Structure 1
Amino acid sequence: MRTKLGFGIGDLGGNLFFTIMGFYLLFYLTDIIGLLPALAGTALMIGKVWDAITDPITGYVSDRTRTRWGRRRPYMFVGAIISFFCMGLMFTPVQLSSQMRLFVYVTFLYCTLNTAYTLVNIPYAALLPELTEDYNQRTILTGYRMSFAVVGTFVGAALVMPIIGLFSSVSVGWSMMGTFMGAVMLFSTLATIFAIKEPTYSGTSELDGFASTFADVMKEKVFLSALLPWTFFITGTSMIQGALVYYFAYIFGNEGLFQLALVALLSFSLLCIPIWVQVSKRIGKKACYMIGMSIMSVAVMLFSLLGTKLGPTFGVIVMGFAGVGLSTHYVMPHSILPDIVEYDAVTRNKGRREGVFSSLWTFSSKLGQALALALNGWILALFGYQSEHISEVAKIGIVLICGPLPLLWYIAGIWILRTYPIDRVYYEQMIAKRDNA
């Protein structure tokens, strides 16, 4: 239980971070510090692409690290400290003399923040396949992790505006919010560092070079059959995350109701995690994931296309329905990845590469996030979005990034995920063959 809780709580800070970045950062840049939408979207894309580049490097290095404290935890400790300070700076509004200077400042700070959190997230993700090799126990351990993740998402989604509202100055409110959230990220990571005892690694380091290692992994068809859907689902979900606050503020005319919609979305996500864990034992992880993202697809289309006619109450209800499907996105992909790591270790019989796989997994998700954030900013600019005056044309752009465009990513992901081969029987036969060799 110490291991389950200690491992799980680490993702509280992680999902808090991703939630704030996904739901609020674009809005903060355009409406609080006044950065033009196209520049804001480009800054976030650059930051995410840089973030993605640092992921494989961190995974490669951590796989080869040997210290008395383990392979992963030293990086997590350093990254957590830097993340705390960068979060406060990121959300402290500044006034610079030109849009270009503001763009450069935001881009540099966002890149630094993402690099710091990479030092936390990549080693953290690499811990899971090291803690257990049991097929169902990995799903259970992932369930603990994702339960904390949803709590982190709750904190990141529901407390941002209330914390800002505690202060008479909007600028001070955003700054204090960033500092508080940075502290939560710091302490959740420290809890994992001190609760988890890393298994002693007796294997040898990979002899392959950096480029050849990653090129070899990217040839794995089994890996790609899960990686591409994960990336597409991330892209669609990130587009919706960044667009919802605009939809409630300017389509429904009720920005405050956005908080209630998030509570509905995340409550149903949290409640359904143990249900999906049990269902996956019967029908498998892939089937659960495909069903969940199909539910998300239906929900976002209902929300974006019927929300304008049926009103904000309908929007909140649909967000609750979407949470049932989103719950699988929290659990299944992170439970699938350790099985792929085991598949690679068994078929290659040449050392384990948890960090490499985890870094590529996160790399692809951040590319998806980068593309989503950039598309949101560019589409808003294309449709003439201006925070001072929201035209009817701009509202069409907001509707598009809340449903129809994300749906295309969902459909592509579900189609490719059909080809993923590892189920419980496949996995157990693979392990038995290894043990009998």
Structure 2
Amino acid sequence: MSKISMKLKLGFGIGDLGGNLFFTFIGFYLMYFLTDVLGLSAALAGTTLMIGKIWDAVTDPVTGFASDRTISRWGRRRPYIFTGAILSFFAMYLLFSISPRHSQAELFILSTLYFCLLNTAYTLVNIPYTALIPELTRDYDQRTLLVAYRMSFAVLGTFVGAAAVMPLVNSFQNEQTGWAIMASILGGVMMGTALITVWAVREPQHTKEDVKGHGFLKTYLEALKLRVFLLILIPWTLFITGISMIQGALVYYFKYIFLSEDSFQLALVALLSTSLLFIPIWAWLSHKISKKTCYNIGMLIVTTAVLVFSFSGTYWPVSVAILIMGFAGVGLSTHYIMPHSILPDVVEYDAIENNGLRREGVFSGLWTFSSKLGQAFALALNGWILSLFHYKPDVLQTPETQLGIKLICGPFPALFIIMGVLILVKFPITRDFYDRMIRTGSTDF
């Protein structure tokens, strides 16, 4: 297989800077923005996030199916990425410009509506973008390399989406103005990086014969019957659920248990720096051992770290907690690279099973559909648990409420991650399996 050009690596990879900026920013800050800035109750805020993510998940299969069957001079994927890029800028501004002077009902309706709009924009970019990977190369290791570039940009997006937000907001005298301007800037970054990908990537040309297939429901039911796909899809969803719970809970932990909100930024730098540094290391290790083994090792590292961290506020100073977050980043790095390099291998498996019929968009749609259901459940669960433990914003929390915050930072997420590890162990595609499959054109061995 020919090597991928540097232009393609960089042009494709930068697209996920904006995508991961969105994912991280929403995961870390939207719940906080709704409760502590707008004054929406924790239960309603959790419900808003759940509705938005469910809507986001529902639009994923539709977008994936449509992009698989699109024929244009720009390719199957790039027209959707272009449209979503423009829409994301305006949706970001609208969501974070809501006035806190509205009633609870009005805040709930507006935040839910704008969040659904923003998620629609993200879907139009993310589903076709993810579907590009198996079309750009069929080589087992080149895909890992391409994903490594993508995820290096993704971690940079995480830095921007997580570490730059509060300093930017706090630089404005009016907090509400700060959030609106910050959202406009981040929306501009999301739009710009997606448009660079549209410019840099050249898709393979397809004909009507290439995009033939069954109807919408039958196509997705066929994909969901593929055991190999389920053995990565279910762990991915469980891992997303656990990690999303942790993301949404960290800002509460540092603000109300350590009483050091500024230290949250240092913890994010430690977490994301080690994640970025270990991406090439895990990519190298995946040449020596299977991708699934790397992924499981990484998730077990995350599990160990968050279980220790969740009760660190009781026993250790904040500096130790920051070091623990750095250790968690070693494992979190696998979550950036391994699942996205495994999915294209499943697409090849399916294509061989179905006489060359390629359904990248279908698998990409189901992939993000399940992950967003996991996010929706995680974010809603965080809000409901905070409400159950009588959380009230901007006051000293009771021991009962502090326990609730600790539970959503460690023990509850750890359960989801461990379940995912136990299922992923059974995933069958290794390098040897993949090479034999491509060489023989068969999966029967």
Give the shorter-chain TM-score range: over 0.9
Unaligned runs of 5+ in 2: 1-5
* Equivalent residue letter for 2:224: M
Once the two structures are TM-superposed, the CA of residue 300 in structure 1 deviates from its matched residue by: 0.3
Unaligned runs of 5+ in 1: none
2:309 to 303, 314, 318: 303
For normalisation by structure 2, the TM-score amounts to 0.97
Once the two structures are TM-superposed, the CA of residue 435 in structure 1 deviates from its matched residue by: 8.8
Once the two structures are TM-superposed, the CA of residue 111 in structure 1 deviates from its matched residue by: 0.5
Counterparts of 1:175 and 1:436, CA distance in 2:
52
Cα deviations by residue, 1:41-87 (Å, 9 ceiling, x for unpaired): 00100000000000000000000000001100001101110100110
Cα deviations by residue, 1:242-288 (Å, 9 ceiling, x for unpaired): 00000000000000000000000000000000000000000110110
* Equivalent residue letter for 1:238: S
Aligned 1:85-234 pairs, distance under 5 A? 85-202=90-207, 203-234=209-240
Once the two structures are TM-superposed, the CA of residue 306 in structure 1 deviates from its matched residue by: 2.7
Counterparts of 1:24 and 1:96, CA distance in 2:
20
Counterparts of 2:70 and 2:101, CA distance in 1:
42
1:8 to 10, 13, 22: 13
Counterparts of 1:221 and 1:435, CA distance in 2:
16
Aligned to 1:68: 73
Once the two structures are TM-superposed, the CA of residue 208 in structure 1 deviates from its matched residue by: 0.6
Aligned to 1:401: 408
2:376 to 332, 347, 370: 370
Counterparts of 1:51 and 1:333, CA distance in 2:
20
Moved over 3 A (4+): none
Is 2:423 aligned against 1:416? yes
Aligned 1:417-432 pairs, distance under 5 A? 417-432=424-439
* Equivalent residue letter for 1:112: L
Aligned to 1:21: 26
Once the two structures are TM-superposed, the CA of residue 185 in structure 1 deviates from its matched residue by: 0.3
Counterparts of 1:308 and 1:15, CA distance in 2:
32
For normalisation by structure 1, the TM-score amounts to 0.98
Counterparts of 1:334 and 1:63, CA distance in 2:
19
Once the two structures are TM-superposed, the CA of residue 95 in structure 1 deviates from its matched residue by: 3.4
Cα deviations by residue, 1:114-173 (Å, 9 ceiling, x for unpaired): 011100000000000000000000000000000000000001111101111221110100
Counterparts of 1:205 and 1:148, CA distance in 2:
31
Counterparts of 1:393 and 1:341, CA distance in 2:
47
Once the two structures are TM-superposed, the CA of residue 88 in structure 1 deviates from its matched residue by: 1.0
* Equivalent residue letter for 1:408: L
Q: Is this contact kept in 1: 2:213–2:219, CA < 8 A?
A: no
CA RMSD between the two structures: 1.3
Counterparts of 1:53 and 1:436, CA distance in 2:
31
Q: Is this contact kept in 2: 1:307–1:314, CA < 8 A?
A: no
Q: Is this contact kept in 1: 2:352–2:441, CA < 8 A?
A: yes
CA shift in 2, pair 1:354/1:435, >3 Å: same
Cα deviations by residue, 1:14-62 (Å, 9 ceiling, x for unpaired): 0000011000000000000000000000010000000000000000000
* Equivalent residue letter for 1:244: L
